[in-house]
Chains A and B, each alone.
Chain A
Amino acid sequence: MKKLIFAILILISVTACTSDFVSENQNPYTLSTELLLQDNNLLGGSFPRMFTNLSGVQVDDNLLNDCFARQMATGSDFAGGVNNTTYYPTWNTFWRERAYTIMSKSKFVIDKAKEYNVPIFENWAKLVRVLVMSKATAIYGPVIYSKYGTTTSSTILYDKESDLYNTFFAQLDTIQTAFKDKASYTGFKKFDGCYGGDMTMWSRLINSLRLRLAIRISKVAPELAKNQGEKALADDAGLIDDNKYNFTTSLIGDKFPLAMISLEWDDTRMDAAMESILVGLNDNRISKFFQPATDNTLYSDHPAYPYKGIRNGAYIANKDQHIKFSKINSSFTSMTSRKHFTAAETFFLKAEAALRGWAGAGDAKTDYETGVRLSFADWGAGGVDAYLADATSKPINYIDPKDARNNFTSRSTVTVAWNEADSPELKLEKIITQKWINTFTNSMEAWVDMRRTGYPKLPFNARNDSNDSWGIIAPNDFIKRMPFTPEERTSNAAGVADATTKLGGADKISTRLWWDTGASNF
């Protein structure tokens, strides 16, 4: 009987003890909030990864804006050759990726910065949101912004574009004030692969970003644009007006995306429009951007420039067909950072602002030429004086030695040299053409300019697979936007329906965004 009691005692003792369950169910090799608070890692540690995620890689950058803006083109017959590049939306991940890599992480930072009362990190996180969502809205139009993370309901509403830009500007005001108040703050240095924690640089970025967004809406909301643009130009913190102030983000050990996609995956090549314009204008930046084609029969139409691009929306038989066309320059393999805002862009923005008569914009010619000089310097190319003086060279026509259906006659007849006698429209075309060249590897704003101004005059698709389900793009037109993402259409259907009314047209690739008025530029 004693043994029986003993046995029952054992049974009871074995079952009753659950006090260590909480610690047992915690992974000891993960970081608790307490550990992260040390050295400010809790608030700062998310930033390096958020910065690298400002731009996508293949399907959410290269096969999106790079292709739509005709800077890179693919020779791979993805999805049987019917895909984004032929105007049939196949990949549509920009919003989702940014939501999960930036919006949710910035929410965590904002919440924790409030909890621990360190508002400067909250402002940083909000600046990152403006940076990335100003790109997202250029793809989709309405985006989830002011309502992000505020509801547990499955329906989350999108912001209308006109509201969104007002929110951006208002947030930039708050952030700028906060940053200026803490101009000597060094607490961000450790996490800042962009500016090494120098607050004055961030203030320059805020002003430049404001100018970029103001120019973006200059046709649809001229008054607001002018106000905001002049505010940016007048701010005492200054603009990114020298290459040493360029806003770049560290790749934190990752490969430079285009180098990987072009050189390792063989999935992207020089675009035919790049060939047409750079070869035509005798632009020395071409050798900094690209490698010669590896088959010398390909460029027999201009042997002095051994480069050959692929037309976007081309007829592609298979991946082998265009594989020997020009890749991106191999120097990109050693790049450790990515460009997001350069001084040249600032001067091209100022040049346009000058054309629009904004106070503080300076002289359009000077701005334009300074922009070109800064761009050449930034890309390490020589011969800028001769280039700026060239009033005769024009973009060339394109020949695809693999398939004549891809040939085109250049729509652009622009030259480089500034001529005060030119019409504002032609001046703007020159400015935007140079801005387009300069944005190589950072093409989102080039795609915005294309839709907003119609410049540069780039070739249309040879192959156009657009259809009524996603919207038809006319043969002499370009894609206008991307549809809301498939996940949103299923899991947030009511939100998307509301967003479609805010968009002001069907949720299709043919619907123009708010600032894409289709009207003349002046």
Chain B
Amino acid sequence: MIKYIIKLLFINFKLLLSMRQLITMLCLLVGISWASAQTKITGTVVSADDGQPAIGATVKVKGANVGSITNMDGAFTINVPANANTLVFSYVGMTSIELPAQNGMIVKMQSDAKQMNEVVVTALGIKRDKKTLTYASQQVGGDELRKASSLNFMDALSGQAAGIDIKTSSSGAGGSTKAILRGNKSLSGLSEPLYVIDGIPMVNNKHDQPGSYGGTDSGDGLSQINPNDIESINILKGANASILYGSLGANGVVLITTKKGKDAKVNVSFSSSLIFEKVSQLPDFQYSYGAVDGADRSWSSTKSDSYQKDYVKNFFQTGLNTVNSISITSGGPKTQLYFSYANTTAKGTMPTNTYNKNNFTFNSSTKLLNDKMTVSSGIIFAQETTKNRPGAGYYNNPLTGLYLFPRERDFNSYKTNYSVLDGNRNLNVMNWFSTEEKQNNPYWILNEDSKLDKTKRVIANLKASYDISKHLKFEIRGNIDYADKLQDYRYAAGSNTVDVDATGKWVYASYNDQSIYTDGILNYNNKFGDLSVTGLLGASYQKNTYSNGMSANSHSGTGLIYPNYFALQNLPPEAIIQSTTDRSIKQGAFANVQLGYKDMVYLDLSGRNDWASTLALTGNDSYFYPAVGFTGILSQMVKMPEAISFAKVRASWSNTANDVPFNKIVKWSTVGSASGISYNYPGVAPFTYLKPEMITSNEIGTEWRFLGGRIGVEFTYYYDVSKDQFVEVPASSGSGYDTQFLNVGKLVNKGVELTINAEPFKTKNFSWKTSVNYSANKNKVVELIASDPNYVIGGNDEGFTSLIKAGGSFNDLYIYHFLRNSAGQIVLDANGKPQKDGTQTYAGNLNSKWNLGWSNTVSYKDFFMSVLITGKFGGVCISKTQAFLDNYGVSKATGDARDLGYVAVNAIQGTTAVTQMDPAAYYSTVGDRNGVMEPYVYSRTNVRLSQLSIGYNIDVKKLRLPLQDASVSLVGRDLFFFYKKAPFDPESAMSTSNSAQSNEIFSMPSSMYYGLNLKVNF
């Protein structure tokens, strides 16, 4: 009960506070002057090492709470009150100094190489000195993420940090991202990290994903974050780092710190980017051989040069992404504000696909009660509208009809006349030559099937911290993350009847996702001689209500009552309109103590107890797990050679327990079809013996810095074991039940992460910074179901199987290979066709073995350039598209083979060796979804120029512009591959589900991006 009162208090308090802050901000904008009698001082701050200006250094008047920040030239202006004289200069990586104020002063700041103090944000938003951490974490600055103007910050993060494997959506703007830290740890879950904004977990739900039979990615929560709001991202790679988030953080955490107001004058910055998107990864086609007798497949052996050639290329348009954003920071000693607005509009390469997003962000903080109390709040509002986001798979996909189109036919006539009147029905139906399940007129799909996704989201938080004493601080936070979602996919009457009923098909869902989070933390910090003690004690409460709303799909079989009328009242009685919900409560109590001795050794102890509603009735709903970590700073212990500035070793061990999904313990029946009298018995008995899943993480690491910090090396080795995994498996067919739940399995992920940073050149005019991130992960499924050693998770997806099996690795690919004799020859059947093996056999793993990111930043006078090269090495990928293109005789390979007159094979028929095969006989046997998949498995190794930006800082003073600074840059993403063997981009995910990795089934061809970026600071 008490917690509801607290919650109510939070909400009301927040409202009051927001009002107050709004008024404060308005006052500020109107321009209220803060000071009275004062002196205006200007000066410049430079680095003592190289004389370079220190950009963004903080200048404060000692004892007066007046502050400023240096500009691009290191220059500052500050109003010093009459009663003060000393200025305090501070800058990241440099030793703070105090100097008497003097107009025209030049301040030389010394590099802080000895100290190497780097404050990083850790779990729960707690700031820690990086050198004391007992686990690996890596920080990426917001500017790094913005360099190439990605619409989704996660796309930009790829290659920027070791150990995070990111696959971007192939379905364009607003599509979902799949990110995995240190390998797949969960048999049935997605193993995705927790995303945290300013210390508080955010919702990142995924709903629909496409598969072989079609479908559309319905996005996730990440695209709703405005990249311009991000100050920095810190990646906590293992459970060791994230134990304070409990099970939520079992797969690692991506901590997002948003920009805040500063104690300085009003700063307005504006940035604008215009990025073109062009399809760059189209399959290779032939346009010289058509079909015979009006067939669907282009298997004529007669060549013609008169067929249409460019319709595939011309089908796609040049996409255009524009982002305009403005941010205002303002503040005084007591109150600081940050406000931003961004508008994103995108037009995809698929015609009719558009994306529109508006972001508002407002952060504020105020000091009260003699600066003992700080109250801060933040509101993020995002509104996202996506139209016709491209799908994948066989059904209702424009690309199938486009690619497979028989070459002798007139494509343009189908383009113009994509619909024809059905006189009997008096409605327009699709005009297409084939009724195959995957065949559609692409223009019919584009124009008649409309898909709409809408999200309106608010993330609002309130934090209050109070310094109880010098050593004790109490902090309480509350957050609401609320998103209103609409999915409205309409498929017109007259579409391909395999998936769309004669009267049309409708997929509709309207729901909200809501997460309420509150925590209270008591922080303690003290020093007793050589011993330092940092500790915290806290509790959190989180209540999630997801998919809260309704969904209604037209009934397969009867469709809609009136054709093409998409409304609930037009659903036939067989259709089921569903109320949906998914909810969970998790309460946690946690504690952490860090003991430090002489700034050289640190011991970190943590523990957390969770209470999870999803384990109610099992007796296991309360569970505890500990973590322990150790850090030794070698450079403090022993005298190191001059070249070594810093050396540290660390080790940690942690246990994390994870609850199960909603409503698994006792299931009730659901309403079935048949006009309401049929219900669906769930087919499962109550499962009251479920336990939480358990992940044990071990890691050791070391960090070194050389030459005053100009070279830095970090290395980590980890060994994670996941056990007691929750799986829902089909019950034995004679058991009396349909499915059963089990706690099974043992998955091991082990690997290394290596990061090297260096600044090889640093002179007045020229500097070069470079950074290499390397990571390798090895996954092993040690055990799946002990009592059933042959059990596998994952089934045949029409031609391939991505499975999890004891003794293998996550996402092992199994396919049909050619049937070969012992000499390796393909065994042909009596008709001279290649045969496939009786069973599917191993063909490789769908995850890469090791990943590399290499980023470089070079500046020369006013020019700057950054280059990011990323590589993923090892593993395989599979393209079912290619298998279909071959089978239909439209791939370039089939054209080349016909030009040549045969396909070269190493085969045997009976006892006769065969070296040449008829192209039609070969490809129509090998291709398609059920052929021999062996030729369609490719190495997934790829190395690309991920990001490139070249820019120029405009000399605003010379041009006498009323600006502080301005820059313009040319940016490009995925411009080309240094190496790639697959016919598609393996890092572009058709789906973010576990089983559909590194494959491609008529998904959108990947793009390259290039454009212009403009930034202005007023």
- A interface residues with partner B (beta carbon < 8 Å): 3-4, 7-8, 10-15, 17-18, 20-22, 24-33, 36, 41, 44-49, 78-80, 95-96, 99-100, 103-105, 107-108, 144, 147-152, 154, 156, 190-191, 193, 250, 252-255, 260, 263-266, 317-320, 469, 485, 487-488, 490-492, 495
Please state if B734 and A149 are interface contacts (CB–CB under 8 Å). Answer: yes
A266 and B435 alpha carbons, distance in the complex (Å): 8
Residues of B within 8 A of A151 (CB): 735
Question: Quick one: given A7-B474, A18-B622, are A41 and B673 in contact (CB under 8 Å)?
Answer: no
Residues of B within 8 A of A18 (CB): 587, 611, 613, 616, 621-622
| Interchain Cβ contacts under 8 Å between A and B, 5 examples | A4-B472, A29-B580, A44-B677, A253-B558, A260-B557
Please state if B616 and A22 are interface contacts (CB–CB under 8 Å). Answer: yes
List 14 extra interface pairs beyond A4-B472, A78-B930, A318-B924, CB under 8 A.
A4-B522, A7-B476, A10-B539, A13-B6, A14-B539, A22-B616, A22-B617, A29-B580, A30-B668, A46-B678, A48-B672, A49-B673, A255-B557, A320-B296
> When each residue 662-698 of chain B gets 1 if its CB lies under 8 Å from chain A and 0 otherwise, what string results?
1101111111111101111111000000000000000
Residues of B within 8 A of A78 (CB): 930
Q: Is B81 close to A, CB under 8 A?
A: no
Please state if A4 and B579 are interface contacts (CB–CB under 8 Å). Answer: no
Which residue in chain A gives the minimum CB-CB distance to B738? A100
Of A12, A17, A24, A104, which is within 8 A of B736 by CB? A104
A7 and B520 alpha carbons, distance in the complex (Å): 8
Which residue in chain A gives the minimum CB-CB distance to B466? A3
A44 and B676 alpha carbons, distance in the complex (Å): 12
Question: Quick one: given A15-B588, A31-B668, A49-B672, are A25 and B734 in contact (CB under 8 Å)?
Answer: no
Please state if B677 and A79 are interface contacts (CB–CB under 8 Å). Answer: no
Of A103, A254, A492, which is within 8 A of B557 by CB? A254
Of B435, B474, B734, which is within 8 A of A99 by CB? B734
A99 and B733 alpha carbons, distance in the complex (Å): 6
How close is A192's CB to chain B, nearest CB, in angstroms?
10
Please state if A11 and B732 are interface contacts (CB–CB under 8 Å). Answer: no
Q: Is B931 close to A, CB under 8 A?
A: yes
How close is B150's CB to chain A, nearest CB, in angstroms?
38
Most buried by A among B522, B583, B613, B833: B613
Please state if B297 and A4 are interface contacts (CB–CB under 8 Å). Answer: no
Q: Is B787 close to A, CB under 8 A?
A: yes
Which residue in chain B gives the minimum CB-CB distance to A52? B674
A126 and B579 alpha carbons, distance in the complex (Å): 34
Of A11, A24, A33, A36, which is within 8 A of B589 by CB? A11
Of B437, B537, B662, B669, which is within 8 A of A11 by CB? B537
Q: Is B821 close to A, CB under 8 A?
A: no
A318 and B923 alpha carbons, distance in the complex (Å): 12
Please state if A25 and B678 are interface contacts (CB–CB under 8 Å). Answer: no
Q: How many of B's residues come within 8 Å of A, CB to CB?
A: 92
Which residue in chain B gives the minimum CB-CB distance to A321? B295
Please state if A80 and B672 are interface contacts (CB–CB under 8 Å). Answer: no
How close is A282's CB to chain B, nearest CB, in angstroms?
32
Residues of B within 8 A of A44 (CB): 677
Please state if B584 and A24 are interface contacts (CB–CB under 8 Å). Answer: yes
Q: Is B737 close to A, CB under 8 A?
A: yes
Please state if B436 and A266 are interface contacts (CB–CB under 8 Å). Answer: yes
A154 and B732 alpha carbons, distance in the complex (Å): 7
A487 and B733 alpha carbons, distance in the complex (Å): 8
How close is A178's CB to chain B, nearest CB, in angstroms?
23
Which residue in chain A gives the minimum CB-CB distance to B519? A14
Which residue in chain A gives the minimum CB-CB distance to B790? A490
Residues of B within 8 A of A49 (CB): 672-674, 678, 680
Please state if B295 and A14 are interface contacts (CB–CB under 8 Å). Answer: no
Question: Quick one: given A25-B584, A25-B616, A485-B733, are A190 and B520 in contact (CB under 8 Å)?
Answer: no
Residues of A within 8 A of B730 (CB): 100, 487
Residues of A within 8 A of B540 (CB): 14
Q: Is B555 close to A, CB under 8 A?
A: yes
Instruction: List B557-603 residues whose CB lies under 8 Å from chain A.
Output: 557-558, 572-574, 578-581, 583-585, 587-589
Of A12, A31, A490, which is within 8 A of B679 by CB? A31
A487 and B573 alpha carbons, distance in the complex (Å): 36
How close is A131's CB to chain B, nearest CB, in angstroms?
18
Please state if B474 and A488 are interface contacts (CB–CB under 8 Å). Answer: no
How close is A296's CB to chain B, nearest CB, in angstroms?
15
Please state if B681 and A29 are interface contacts (CB–CB under 8 Å). Answer: no
Which residue in chain B gives the minimum CB-CB distance to A156? B734
Question: Quick one: given A147-B734, A491-B788, are A13 and B436 in contact (CB under 8 Å)?
Answer: no
A191 and B679 alpha carbons, distance in the complex (Å): 11
A388 and B454 alpha carbons, distance in the complex (Å): 67
Residues of A within 8 A of B1018 (CB): none
Question: Quick one: given A80-B836, A487-B733, are A30 and B520 in contact (CB under 8 Å)?
Answer: no
Please state if A80 and B930 are interface contacts (CB–CB under 8 Å). Answer: yes
Of B6, B616, B669, B673, which is within 8 A of A253 by CB? B673
Please state if B468 and A80 are interface contacts (CB–CB under 8 Å). Answer: no
Of B537, B609, B611, B677, which is within 8 A of A45 by CB? B677
A104 and B667 alpha carbons, distance in the complex (Å): 15
Q: Is B832 close to A, CB under 8 A?
A: no
A369 and B556 alpha carbons, distance in the complex (Å): 41
Question: Quick one: given A13-B2, A318-B295, are A48 and B613 in contact (CB under 8 Å)?
Answer: no
A29 and B680 alpha carbons, distance in the complex (Å): 13
Please state if B613 and A24 are interface contacts (CB–CB under 8 Å). Answer: yes
Which residue in chain A gives the minimum CB-CB distance to B739? A100
Residues of B within 8 A of A22 (CB): 616-617
Instruction: List B767-801 residues whose CB lies under 8 Å from chain A.
Output: 787-788, 790-791
Residues of B within 8 A of A10 (CB): 2, 6, 476, 520, 539
> When each residue 95-125 of chain B gets 1 if its CB lies under 8 Å from chain A and 0 otherwise, what string results?
0000000000000000000000000000000
A149 and B738 alpha carbons, distance in the complex (Å): 11
Q: Is B992 close to A, CB under 8 A?
A: no
Interface pairs A-B: 8 shortest CB-CB: A149-B736, A253-B574, A156-B734, A252-B674, A21-B616, A30-B668, A99-B733, A144-B734
Q: Is B43 close to A, CB under 8 A?
A: no
Please state if B581 and A29 are interface contacts (CB–CB under 8 Å). Answer: yes
Please state if B670 and A30 are interface contacts (CB–CB under 8 Å). Answer: yes
Residues of A within 8 A of B2 (CB): 10, 13-14, 17
Residues of B within 8 A of A252 (CB): 574, 673-675, 678
Question: Quick one: given A18-B621, A24-B583, A48-B678, are A320 and B734 in contact (CB under 8 Å)?
Answer: no
How close is A135's CB to chain B, nearest CB, in angstroms?
15
Q: Is B614 close to A, CB under 8 A?
A: yes
Residues of A within 8 A of B662 (CB): 25, 27
Please state if B539 and A25 are interface contacts (CB–CB under 8 Å). Answer: no
Residues of A within 8 A of B470 (CB): none
Which residue in chain B gives the minimum CB-CB distance to A23? B616
Please state if B296 and A45 are interface contacts (CB–CB under 8 Å). Answer: no
Q: Is B204 close to A, CB under 8 A?
A: no
How close is B678's CB to chain A, nearest CB, in angstroms?
4
A100 and B739 alpha carbons, distance in the complex (Å): 9
Which residue in chain B gives the minimum CB-CB distance to A105? B681
Q: Is B3 close to A, CB under 8 A?
A: yes
How close is A522's CB to chain B, nearest CB, in angstroms?
38
How close is B4's CB to chain A, nearest CB, in angstroms?
10
Residues of B within 8 A of A317 (CB): 924
How close is A17's CB to chain B, nearest CB, in angstroms?
7
Please state if A491 and B732 are interface contacts (CB–CB under 8 Å). Answer: yes
Please state if A7 and B681 are interface contacts (CB–CB under 8 Å). Answer: no
Please state if B474 and A3 are interface contacts (CB–CB under 8 Å). Answer: yes
Please state if B557 and A253 are interface contacts (CB–CB under 8 Å). Answer: yes
